[in-house]
Structures are given as structure tokens and as C-alpha cells.
Structure 1
Amino acid sequence: MRLLLVEDHVPLADELMAGLTRQGYAVDWLADGRDALHQGQSEPYDLIILDLGLPGLPGIDVLKQWRTSGLTTPVLILTARSSWSERIDGLKAGADDYVTKPFHPEELQLRVQALLRRSHGQSNQPLLKSAGLHLDESRQCVINEGAEVQLTAAEFRLLRYFMLHPQQILSKSHLAEHLYDGETERDSNVLEVHVNHLRRKLGRTVIETRRGQGYIFGTGTQ
């Protein structure tokens, strides 16, 4: 899952990026509201974390323009403002959730997880469930037919994306856009290797190849 973090306080941004990366997210970081306005509309993010107090263009104005343009990406706002009226303004502008500074990084990570699941029609349970598999996001492993299966970081990121998009044809280019940040070189052959590793660990039928189209998850399981 690819996230955009818009935060101008560098130490906080560094801390959040490190934590979110450990959780298996690909994160792009921007510190200016004008840059965020353009990039949020031009890149395929799964979720955006947006500070309200930004240089260039206030976060609330960025959010309003995103929503006016039709951007539906979930947005979690960060604010140092404790006034209830300002939080309401953010929600009215189109935010899906908010966190008031100071906050614990784990709180942010859990809110991100909940927003991503909700945006894909999944309930926020301890384990992500799809196609007979149970994914433990905190431990980055999967339970298949009662047995715990260990995953590499890359396998975990790929499987989580598949499990949030069951029964959907996903091309290699689409997967690359959502699994890697903007600075990482994207190689479709590497994705194919990870798909084959998941098949060996979870069964050949869990991920189907649609020739000329991509992959579809969950067609061979109940």
C-alpha cells in the first residue's frame, strides 16, 4: 500500500516514515502544501496523511481542492489544533479521520490500518481475512488452514494488497504503482518472483495468472 505523508516538521516526518515503512507501507514524503496538491492528484495513493499547518498552502485548502477535483483517496489529517471547531472543519472539508498532536506513532499506524480496511469494505478486526487466509499485520505472517506461514517483507506487502483487492484483476504495473514509493525502481520480474513464492507457500491456486492482464487473487479458494 502506497501512502503520501505531508508534514513539514522534519523530525516527526522521519519518525512517521520509519514506523510506517516497518509496517510494510511504501511512503512518499512532502513538506509543502502546493507540492502536495499536485502530487496527491497525479499519483495513485491508497491513503494520504495530511498535516494542516503547512507552508505554501494550508492543509485544509489542499484537502478542499482535492475533494472538489473528485479525489476520493482516504485522508487522515494531523493537527496541533485542539479546538473542536477546527477538527469539525477538517471533517467537513473531506477528511476521513484525524489525529491531534502530540500522538503515539502506534495510534497513527492503527488508524491508517483501519482506514485502509474500511475503504476496501473490510472490518477492522485483529486479523485481515480474505479467501480463507488470515493475515496478522502486526507480526507480518499469515495463517493458512490453521498453520502459521512466515513471510518476507516483500511477500507480506504483496499479499496484503491482494487480500484487500480479492477477485480483482491487477496488472503488474498497477501492483508496482501501489507497492513501491516514488523513489524505488520498479521491476515486474521481481513481482513475478514474489507471486511464485506466495504460491509455493500458500498453494498454487491462491493467485491466478490472467495472461496479458495480470493476476487475480482468491479465485481458487473458498
Structure 2
Amino acid sequence: MKILVIEDDRTTGPCVTSGLRQEGYTVDLVGNGREGLLQATTTDYDILVLDRMLPGLDGLTVIKTLRGAGNKTPAIMLTALSGVDDRIEGLEAGADDYLVKPFAFGELAARVAALARRPGYQTQETTLRAGDLEMDLVHHRVTRAGVEINLLPREFTLLEHLLRRKGRVQTRTMLLEAVWDITFDPQTNVVETHISRLRAKVDKPFERELIETVRGAGYRIVG
């Protein structure tokens, strides 16, 4: 399941993102309302978690704009405003749930899980594909041309990230943040090493290469 977190607080945003990733979700984090709105309208997400008070556009405006455009992605609004009228305003704007700061991460995780269990909730596809490569997210299994490929946990996460963004270049920085939860450049070759290992398992035994290096930019899955 893929979640977009829109939170400008430099402590809350990374903490929520890290916690949700540890719960097994794929998570993107953006720090302002305008960027969040753009991300939510150009990428498919299963759940949105957004702060009410955001730079650029406030959370209420983001939700209203999305709902007005027909985007029905379930949304949990985070806010320091605890009044009944504030909660009503958030829900009337289109939020599905409302969580007052400060909150325990466990409660947020429970609310995310509850949204995912709602009747009519459309889960994200459980199989990712690129050419003859298939990733079964339910059984944690990868095959290519019918041949099973054994991946280490980090290799699986890296491949999943690339498959979910098939055709789109992922920079080294993007991969460090999404796969290793590193928000700074540690000046190591961890990305390059894991890409090389993935290629050895996913590409080299087969006729066609699916993992492409875009010089000066990053990597992407083609097919």
C-alpha cells in the first residue's frame, strides 16, 4: 500500500514516514501544500496523511481541491487544532479521519489500517510487472520468464520501488531516502552496489535488460 505524507514539521514528517515504512508501507513525504497537491494528482496513492497547517496551500484547501477534482483517496488530517468546530471543518472539507497533535504513532498506524479495511476500499495491485518480470507482493515472490528469483529483503524493496515507478528515473537521493530511509548523502556506494546485485539476478541471466542507467540522472525500470 502506498501512502503520501504531506507534513512540513521537520520532526513529525520524517518520524511518521519512517514509522509507516517500518509497518511495511511505501511512503512518499513532501513538505508543503502545493507540492503535496501536485504529487497527489500525478501519482496514485492509497491513503493521504496531511497536516492542516501547511506552507503554500493549507491542508483544507488541498483536500477540497482533490475532492473537487474527483480524487477520492482516503485522507487522515493531522492538526494541533482540537476544537469540535475545527474537526467538523476538516471532515466537511473531505477528510476521512482527523487526528489531533500530539499523537502516538500507534494510533496513527491503527487509523491507517482502519481506512484500508473500509468496505469498498480499493487496494493497490498486488502484482507489479515490467516485461516478463513479475513481483508478487502478497507472497513476496519475484519471477522472470517463469523463473523464480531469490532476492534479499533490501533488494526486494529496491526492486519494488523501481517497479512502482516504472519508466520514471529515480535519482540516487530518491533511492537512499525511499529504500534506506537516509535523508542525506552518506558518500557511500550502497545504491550502486545494490543495483549491481539486482542486475546480476534480474537482468544478466536473461536476454533483455530491464534496469536502465540514465547517465547523470539515476536509474529506472523499462518494459
TM-score in terms of structure 1 length: 0.57
Count of residues in Structure 1 that have an aligned counterpart in Structure 2: 146
Identify the residue that residue 109 of structure 1 maps to in structure 2: 109
2:138 maps to 1:159: yes
2:112 & 2:10 partners in 1: Cα distance?
A: 20
Change beyond 3 A, Cα 1:160–1:16 = farther
Match of 2:164 among 170, 177, 190: 177
2:81 & 2:37 partners in 1: Cα distance?
A: 21
Percent identity of equivalent pairs: 41
Counterpart AA for 1:68: G
Identify the residue that residue 32 of structure 1 maps to in structure 2: 32
Q: What does 1:13-32 align with in structure 2 at a 5 Å threshold?
A: 13-32=13-32
1:31 & 1:76 partners in 2: Cα distance?
A: 16
What runs of 5+ residues in structure 1 fail to find an aligned partner? 123-153, 162-172, 194-222
Identify the residue that residue 2 of structure 2 maps to in structure 1: 2
Deviation at 1:83, TM superposition (A): 1.0
2:60 & 2:139 partners in 1: Cα distance?
A: 31
1:111 & 1:30 partners in 2: Cα distance?
A: 20
1:160 & 1:59 partners in 2: Cα distance?
A: 36
What runs of 5+ residues in structure 2 fail to find an aligned partner? 123-134, 141-159, 179-194, 202-223
TM-score in terms of structure 2 length: 0.57
Q: What does 1:8-157 align with in structure 2 at a 5 Å threshold?
A: 8-118=8-118, 120=120
- Structure ranking higher on relative contact order (CA contacts 8 Å, 6+ apart): 1
2:51 & 2:118 partners in 1: Cα distance?
A: 21
Deviation at 1:176, TM superposition (A): 3.6
State the 4+ residue runs in structure 1 displaced beyond 2 angstroms: 119-122, 175-178, 182-185
> Does the CA-based 8 Å contact 1:77-1:97 persist in structure 2?
yes
Q: CA RMSD in A?
A: 3.5
Counterpart AA for 1:20: L
Deviation at 1:92, TM superposition (A): 0.6
2:121 & 2:51 partners in 1: Cα distance?
A: 26
Q: Secondary structure at the match of 2:38?
A: helix
Counterpart AA for 1:27: V
